[in-house]
Amino acid sequence: MKELKEIRISDLRPFEGHPYKVIDNEEMDALAESIREHGIMTPLIVRRIGDNKYEIVSGHRRAHAAELAGLETVPAIEMDMTKDEAAVALVDSNLHREHLLPSEKAFAYKLRLEALSRQGKRTDLASVQVVPKSDGNRTTAVIGEQTGESYKTVQRYIRLTHLIPALLDMVDDQRIAFSVGVELSFLDSDLQAALMTAIDLNDCTPSYAQACRMHKAVNDGTISEEMIDKIMAEEKPNQKEKISIYADELRGYIPNGTPSEMKAFIRKACEHYSDYLKRKREEVR
């Protein structure tokens, strides 16, 4: 059933588990201004979830822009679909958008995978890629066909959903490479939190080789916060820049002395601060 109607914005709800970010930025401001002048040209797609309550399937950005533009209602097409059918439609309608963040693709792929798995739909492949015979592999291959990606690439994106928000943000901001993020996703949340502390303390990010070592240590059962601290304290070829600080900038913080004595004091201060951060982590647990 398809029915075009005007729906109050206050009666709309975002799709539960919606993987795409709705951000207030210049692009959103421009969309709001366009809607203010010309209205919404493409209706939203929604499904009913209660008396006069609707869940957005397609059009989250348009709905938000319409609210910014001061509209009270938006044109929408009500579709009769299940939660899983809506999840598949939501992902399919956005996968070909430009500039999707890694986190958006990761959670979109995961949402579609879970929906298809629950639906138990056929996973026949039209492509020629060779896929190991398992339901998970074949379902991710079906998802990848839409974007021209292999089932392994889809699975690697889904691995990113295991990252804590702080690390996932670093992948989105390209401060950590996609491949590095995949390897780090095998650390549990506590170890990832310890890694974030080590990143801040050493002012550097893990290389791919270091991330692989951490992943291997997880598999071997030898991973620990101390190992992560040691790995992150290593000097990497691409991160050998020296940090220069004028003595005047440190006056009042460290005692007077020779450059060697001042350097030793700074190292000792860093050690104490590292111990302080470890104690704070333990207090949180």
Nearest to 215 by CA among 205, 202, 226, 228: 228
| Cβ pair 106, 33 in contact under 8 A | no
Q: What CA–CA distance (Å, rounded) separates 8 from 81? A: 20
Please tell me the predicted confidence (pLDDT) of residue 176: 94
pLDDT of residue 178: 96
Q: Measure the CA–CA gap between 46 and 2, rounded to whole angstroms.
A: 10
Return the closest-CA partner of residue 60 out of 99, 103, 24, 33: 24
Listed residue (202, 266, 265) closest to 229, CA to CA:
202
- Evaluate the CA torsion angle 232, 235, 240, 244 in order and state its sign: positive
pLDDT at 82: 87
Concatenate the DSSP letters of all residues of 107-149 into one string.
HHHHHHHHHHHHHT------S-----SSHHHHHHHHHHHHHT-
pTM: 0.67
**At 262, which amino acid appears?**
M
Q: Please report, in angstroms and rounded to a whole number, the separation of the first and last CA atoms in the chain.
A: 51
Q: Measured between alpha carbons, how far is 231 from 214 in angstroms, rounded to an integer?
A: 8
Q: Determine the Cα–Cα distance for residues 204 and 239; give it in Å rounded to an integer.
A: 7
Q: What is the pLDDT of residue 133?
A: 55
Q: Residue 44's beta-bridge partner residues?
A: 76
Per-residue pLDDT of the chain (285 residues; tens, 9 = 90+): 577 889 999 999 988 877 888 888 888 999 999 999 999 999 999 999 988 899 999 889 999 999 999 999 999 999 988 888 888 888 877 766 667 889 988 998 888 888 877 765 544 444 445 445 555 566 777 677 766 778 888 899 999 999 999 999 999 999 999 999 999 999 999 999 999 999 988 888 999 999 999 999 999 999 999 999 999 998 766 555 556 666 666 667 777 766 667 777 888 888 888 888 877 777 755
Nearest to 185 by CA among 202, 204, 170, 200: 170
What is the Cα–Cα distance from 236 to 225, expressed in whole angstroms?
Answer: 19
Give the pLDDT confidence score for residue 83 in this predicted structure. Answer: 87
| Long-range residue pairs from 178-183, CB within 8 A, at least 24 positions apart, any chain | 178/102, 179/208, 179/211, 180/205, 180/206, 180/207, 180/208, 180/211, 181/102, 182/156, 183/208, 183/211, 183/212, 183/214, 183/215
**Range list of H helices, 120-234:** 135-147, 151-159, 165-172, 178-184, 189-202, 208-220, 225-232
Rounded to whole angstroms, the Cα distance separating 210 from 183 reads: 9
Exposure string for 38-74, b = 16+ CB within 10 A, e = fewer: eebeebbbbbeeeeeebbbbbbbbbbbbbbbbebeeb
Pairwise CA distance, residues 259 & 93, whole Å: 61
